[in-house]
A and B are shown apart, each in its own frame.
Chain A
Amino acid sequence: MKQNKNKIIVIVMMALLVGLVGCSKFLERKPEGQLTKEEALKTEADLLAFVNGTTTLVGNDDYMGGRLQAASELLADELKGDKFTGDEAEIFGRRNSIFGDFRNNLYIKAYTVINRANVILETLDLAGTNKGYIEGSSRFFRGMGHFEMVRLFAHPFGYNTDNSQPGIALRLSTGNGSIPRSTVKEVYNQIIVDLKYADSILPVTPQSGTKYYTVTKWVAEAYLAKVYFQMNDFANAYLYAGKVIASGKFMLDNNYNNRYSTGLSTEGIFILANNTTVYNPGSELRGKYRSDRNAPNYNYTDIFYNFATSKPGDVRKAWYSKTLVVDLNVSTKFNKDFFDLPIVHLTEMKLIRAEAGAEIAASNPAALAVAITDINDILTRAYGGTSQNLATTATAAAVIVTTRSERELEMVNEGNRLQEIKRIGARNGSNIDRRGSPWNCNGLLLQFPKAEQDANASFQLNVEGGCF
């Protein structure tokens, strides 16, 4: 009897043991395919893979794959608006309101990239020999993201003399609590800190190959040039554009059509590499503008179309068509199945140095000569020869006028025009908007997603409207 009792106890104990072990595993089985941070980021190679993933996010449709450019162009003055509905009609009408996924997703994706950059920056102890690239590219992604957001969601640098106008939330760590808007001045200061730090540690050559498909020192400097130019800080814009140009790493494309191509461009300073079967950056750009299949909603006003196609000999006129779709002035620039997506290119550096050089000509006469050379490089390519080139004795004012005009033509659909309206407005108060709105009207800003205020009632939204 006692023996039986013991047997029972042993059986019970064993059953319990099996049961308990079984239970704990049973309940703690991991979600399949999901890795924790500790599992995902164990080595430098993991960090490199994470930087790679983050790089592809930059080219996401909601961000630089087209949404950022599209939102800018909607607010600018080249597009005809009668085919827009919903969110796009709102933004086009310069009355962007608190709702709208078109804008929300852009904002979210830009900040997603900033967050991923911060994740890397908080895990740098894993980095080894590639630390410069890993840390530098993350600081670049963060600086670039804040820059692209602040110039869409806040009044431009120079709107106030002290730039105390509200900017955007600066995200310098991975926390997800609400953060209030910093001033535009604070935001620009941080952008410059990030980009300069990136410049100081990034490698000069891409991670592999000869194309600049990964972040290098040069894109940090190119963005510094863009940032300073946006601030109308011409001396620094000239300086940094000059550094990129002087690096000799980039060549203007012979063919205007190569900038958006698969592997043909030589002027991309940072390019997202298309891979036909797995990764196709820029599909949102193609979706908005492509005109060889359906009638695109994004088409131009007659005024802009006439401006862009008025100059005889301009080879870039091939970017426009009035006949491809009946009664519409459409773009052909993106009539391609795939292309590498340049985030910043040498043409823009040339244009920045040309205009900045002319702006500082009074204090730096040598800069004017450089500026004239730069704009003439652009003109030579655009007009298939030197017929439209400026004389070497051209005045600074003439260089500026020509450069601004060429900039608009070169960078059509690239999200450039809106920032020019704002920058030139902040420069000297002039309104170049073809729609006649003052450069500093509130409707030229995107409204913040309402979710910011719902997460924290004190988050300050933009004042809406006031433009036409």
Chain B
Amino acid sequence: MKLTRLLLLLLLPLLLFCMPALAQDQTVTGKVTDAKDGSPMANVTVQVKGTKTATQTNADGTFKIKLPTDAKILVLSSVGYANKEISATNGDAIVSLTQTTNNDLNEVVVIGYGVQRKRDVTGAIVKISGDKISNIPVPSFEAALQGKAPGVQIIQGNGLAGSGSVVRIRGVGSISASGDPLYVIDGVPVISDPFLRGNSGAMNQNPLASINPNDIESIEVLKDAGATGIYGSRGANGVILVTTKRGKSGKPSFTYAAKLGIATYANKPNFVNGTEWLQLRQEAWVNSGKTGLASLPNGITYAQATQNNTDWWDLLTQTGFINDHSLSMSQGNKKLKTFANITFSDDAGYLKNNAYQRIAARLNVDYAVTDKLKVALTSGYNRGTNRRVNSSYAGGIGDAMSSALPIFPVYNANGTYFTNGANPVRNINETKRREINNRGLVGLSFEYQPIKNLFLKANGSVELISSSDDQFETNLSTQRSTADSGYAKRYPYWGYNWTTTYTANYLLNIGTNHKFNFLAGTEAQEFSLKEYKVEIGQFAGSPYYQHIQDYYNRIDTLKKNNPTGIEQSKDKYTFNSFFGRVNYTYKGRYSLQAVVRLDGSSKFGTNYKNGFFPSVSAAWTISDESFMKTIKQINFLKFRASYGIVGNANFPNGKYQDNYRTGGITYNGNTTLYLDALGNPNLKWETLRNTDIALEFALFGNRLTGEIAYYHKATTDILLEPGLSPSGGTGKVFRNLINSKIINQGLEFSANLKIIDKKDFKWTIGGNISRNENKVVEYELGPDAVGGGTNDTRIIKGLPVGVNFLVRFKGVDTNDGLPIWLDKNGKQTKTFSLDHRVYAGSVVPDFIGGFNTAINYKNFEFSTLFSYVIGGSIYENSGKYQFLGTSSKFWNFRKDFLDRWTKPSDISQYPKLVASATDYPGVSSEDQFNSTMFLRDASYLRLRELTIGYRIPKTALGKSFIKDVRMFLTATNLLTFSKYPGGDPEITRDFENAQDRNLSPNITYLTAPSQKTVIFGLNVNF
């Protein structure tokens, strides 16, 4: 019944589309823009002078006002801007208002389903302008947010081209459900799931990589319930709104932007050479009481081993070349505004044969059909081509850090590849992998204003996705004799994601003191991906992309052989939502917002099909109070608070229902039927109760601006997939844990200071610091019920999500070189036991943030951004094997492990080397050799960005067609200060699933270090 009423409410305004517009006589229209940059100004009061007749401008700055017959003058007013009077007969005018205060509080920020002036915003939103994203070379746009937004942790992707970052907004409150934010591009929630290809080749596919940074006008990060409440069941992890560029008023202008540069690795681990490795192997052998020459892997002889000293790292890396070009056009007149852009980039990483190529095109058009009807087209096409290489455990650079020993050659004496051990050169030369992701996102929206202050908007968008993953092994890899007996295969998936949104927005002013903004809307979304259930592959001499017809022929053959079809659903879900928002402002300084959202989804269990998510938020601009006017140092002071319930619905679909499946095979000629997984009809979203309070300020003539915020997030109904008794035989079942709660609470502080603010010389410094305390406060399962993938992080009541649960390594016995451990009670012991494990650290840092400075002197600019992490731990899951490299594990041995015990009375960091991990008493195998010996401080300080720029003076350009030229040199990850000995302290490895991603950032497993890049950039405007 409630639903019906809500529907009625929402559908009624839509019907108004069909009604004839009421005649409006004696009206005048116009548009208000910001004098600073020409951007449209919303919510500007337009009042007939001397009367109470008034209206407000729309989101696009336009207004329409019905005039009394004697009206002569209109007064335009907006807080923070000087009032302006214009002639009432001056219809269709574009009026610019000039800021009276020198801060960015009048900036318009994008919020869910609308825009708002920053000073009126009641939620926690950080805006990052597009130029801060597009000017630096990053593997994927989200990496450019690092250090720029308080409370937003970005662990940038590893060194593989196109790799994605782990993004955490105010911590993580989930275990098995994803902790990733919702990505919304131009109002459309888009596909961002990093697990569409699992972790094949030891890399998670990153759908965000194909997004063109050059298209981005701004990114808004929504953090609290006041901001994300309108996204209901998908707002718990925060929302990242990406707004693409649109045409601006003015004659056609073109911008050409280029970036050319080089890429290498930021840090690298160092390994011993062949001779040293053999010596250490012998040392380990003797230490374990064995005599004679140590055995070598795979029966290799010493004569063979001593001939080689292969530097695998060197053979697998290169200086990558970055090549990025973009041409865009913008124009705008009264009727039509257009933005168009084409981009080509090809960024080779530092790994040989590895590069990400991006081809992108965009056309955004705004067309005013009539005064009342506007149509907007938003369209973008992105094609990302990732020339992949294997890494980590799958080979490539991972082998160079593990099992490809310096005593192995690349080639045998007869010129054939060495195959009696890891050979990553063979791997990268004789395998080819090309992953292509096509994404088209097209949206068409209509905005109709049937009556004054009522705006009806209908928006339909479709995101089309197609992805193919071509893999090819030559016959030298398949070890077959003829050149055409390599193996080519392709794994495609394809699908769509359509969204329709209808909103009705009504502005109501009661007198001059009471302003209301009502929004009601409904949204439906369907997401569907398909794939083939059989492998499309065959013996071939080259990859499918070089002989595509064979691929299609193969599909035809397989279709003929499979009468039931070869396609299957890869993923599919729907959302259907209703939402409403009321904003009320009293006297321009007291703001109140209430939001409700009703979300239904096909992901939810049959017993919980719809969730209700309410939130309220309020803001008080204290500086506008009369008692504050006398305090000249305070230019702006706003207190805001929010509370709301939002959800996390980011978990796989189809989990609520039992999964019985007819078998793809017959047994003994008869059909088969299987139960793959049990369903859970009670499955629902995770519930987050989110509180935020903050103070925004501008002091000392707006020179010092900033914000301090406190938040408290309590997640309940935690979704868990593992943890059932394995003897139940039912496998994993997604379920909301009763008596479960995870708290994230923290403080954020950001500030920006204009030290010098003169026309020709500006110097600013700024920065932010955030502290997030993460704690699992209610949880009933044992410590090992949930692990982050294969790694040693755990969920333990009373501790953060993702703790290192390890045996403590006390030091080395100087007499015999054996490790000394601490048992549970802290008592020293020399016998290792998993029973000694205790909480030893956490992947959650104590503080994160960044600081920057920028100097502009005449046409020169200089800016830097440092990002940092204080506290938290890195666990080297592969480090333990590298330390045991000269045992029977046979891995590369890292140089920092050389500080080991060799003889009595040696004082060393590491114990004596042994021929087998089990020679350390109590160690059952090298896999269990997890201890704080390999736990590191994750703190680092990184010179994330450094830019030197020069803008050619306008006078020098004279009257040429070129309007503006800017050149810059930018370096990323140039310097890193860290105590971490294993290479790069930012660790985003391949994850097995969302749970692994939540629990185990900062757990290394042969992770390729981040890129370091230096580029030259050129922006020309004409």
Contact = CB atoms under 8 A, between A and B. Distances in A.
Partners in one complex: yes
B708 interface: no
Interface string A92-129: 01011111100010011001111110110000000000
Given A56-B667, A454-B783, A176 B733 contact: yes
Contact of B660 (A28, A35, A113, A453): A35
21 contacts: A20-B4, A27-B600, A29-B602, A31-B657, A40-B661, A46-B673, A49-B670, A52-B666, A52-B668, A53-B667, A56-B672, A85-B926, A90-B925, A99-B927, A107-B727, A176-B724, A208-B669, A275-B667, A278-B665, A278-B666, A455-B724
Interface string B721-732: 011111111110
A326 interface: yes
Interface string A67-91: 0000000000000001001110110
A213 B667 CA distance: 9
Contacts of A34: 654, 657-661, 676, 679
Contacts of B834: 97-99
Given A34-B659, A179-B725, 20 more contacts: A11-B15, A12-B11, A19-B7, A28-B602, A40-B661, A40-B662, A49-B662, A49-B672, A52-B663, A53-B673, A82-B888, A97-B924, A97-B925, A108-B729, A112-B731, A168-B727, A176-B725, A279-B665, A451-B726, A456-B725
A459 B731 CA distance: 18
Interface string B645-681: 0000000011001111111111111111111101100
B926 A86 contact: yes
Given A52-B670, A89-B925, A115-B729, A31 B568 contact: no
Interface in A12-39: 12, 15-16, 19-20, 23, 26-37, 39
Interface of A: 8, 11-12, 15-16, 19-20, 23, 26-37, 39-41, 46, 48-50, 52-53, 55-57, 82, 85-87, 89-90, 93, 95-100, 104, 107-108, 111-116, 118-119, 168-169, 171, 174-179, 207-209, 213-214, 273, 275, 278-279, 295, 326-327, 449-457, 459, 464
Contact of A114 (B653, B669, B729): B729
Interface in B122-167: none
Given A15-B11, A179-B727, A40 B660 contact: yes
Contact of B927 (A29, A86, A279, A459): A86
Interface string B698-727: 000000000000000000000000111111
Contacts of A19: 7, 11
B733 to A, nearest CB: 7
B815 interface: no
Nearest to A278: B665
Contacts of A98: 784, 834
B118 interface: no
A86 B679 CA distance: 34
Nearest to A169: B727
Given A111-B728, A115-B729, A116-B675, A12 B662 contact: no
B11 A16 contact: yes
B574 interface: yes
Interface string B848-864: 00000000000000000
B660 A39 contact: yes
B781 interface: yes
B601 interface: yes
A99 to B, nearest CB: 7
B783 A41 contact: no
Contacts of A119: 675
A203 B877 CA distance: 54
Interface string B207-240: 0000000000000000000000000000000000
A451 B673 contact: no
Contacts of A35: 658-662
A381 to B, nearest CB: 28
Contacts of B665: 56, 275, 278-279
B673 A99 contact: no
A454 B502 CA distance: 48
B738 interface: no
Contact of B726 (A16, A20, A33, A108): A108
Contact of B609 (A28, A113, A209, A275): A28
A50 B4 CA distance: 44
Given A15-B15, A35-B661, A208-B668, A452 B725 contact: yes
A107 B726 contact: yes
Nearest to A56: B667
B782 interface: yes
Contacts of B670: 48-49, 52, 207-208
A112 B667 CA distance: 18
A214 B668 contact: yes
Contact of A213 (B657, B668, B673, B918): B668
B667 A455 contact: no
B445 interface: no
Interface of B: 3-4, 7-8, 11-12, 15, 295, 298-299, 524, 526, 568-569, 572, 574, 576, 600-602, 604, 606, 609-610, 653-654, 657-676, 678-679, 722-731, 733, 781-785, 834, 888-889, 918, 924-928
Contacts of B679: 34, 36
Contact of A37 (B295, B574, B660, B723): B660
What 8 pairs across the A-B complex have the smallest Cβ distances? A115-B729, A31-B654, A454-B782, A40-B660, A176-B728, A454-B785, A32-B569, A111-B729
Contact of B918 (A52, A93, A174): A93
A173 to B, nearest CB: 10
Contacts of A46: 673
Given A27-B601, A99-B834, A53 B918 contact: no
A171 B724 CA distance: 14
Nearest to B918: A93
Nearest to B672: A53
Contact of A16 (B7, B667, B785): B7
A186 to B, nearest CB: 15
B673 A85 contact: no
A143 B1014 CA distance: 67
Given A23-B576, A32-B568, A176-B728, A273 B927 contact: no
A397 to B, nearest CB: 40
A306 to B, nearest CB: 22
A31 B609 contact: no
Contacts of B654: 31-32, 34
Contacts of B299: 326-327
Given A82-B888, A97-B834, A213-B668, A108 B731 contact: yes
B651 to A, nearest CB: 13
A450 B574 contact: no
A457 B662 CA distance: 37
Contacts of B675: 37, 40, 50, 116, 119
Contact of B728 (A32, A33, A171, A450): A171
A115 B728 contact: yes
Contacts of B601: 27
Nearest to B569: A32
A167 B294 CA distance: 43
Given A175-B728, A176-B678, A451 B667 contact: no
A36 B660 contact: yes
Contacts of A178: 725, 728
Contact of A12 (B12, B728, B925): B12
Contact of A85 (B602, B671, B724, B888): B888
A279 B600 CA distance: 41
Contacts of A23: 576, 600
A32 B574 CA distance: 13
Contacts of A90: 924-925, 927-928
Given A49-B671, A99-B927, A31 B781 contact: no
B781 A454 contact: yes
B443 to A, nearest CB: 20
Contacts of B924: 90, 93, 95-97, 464
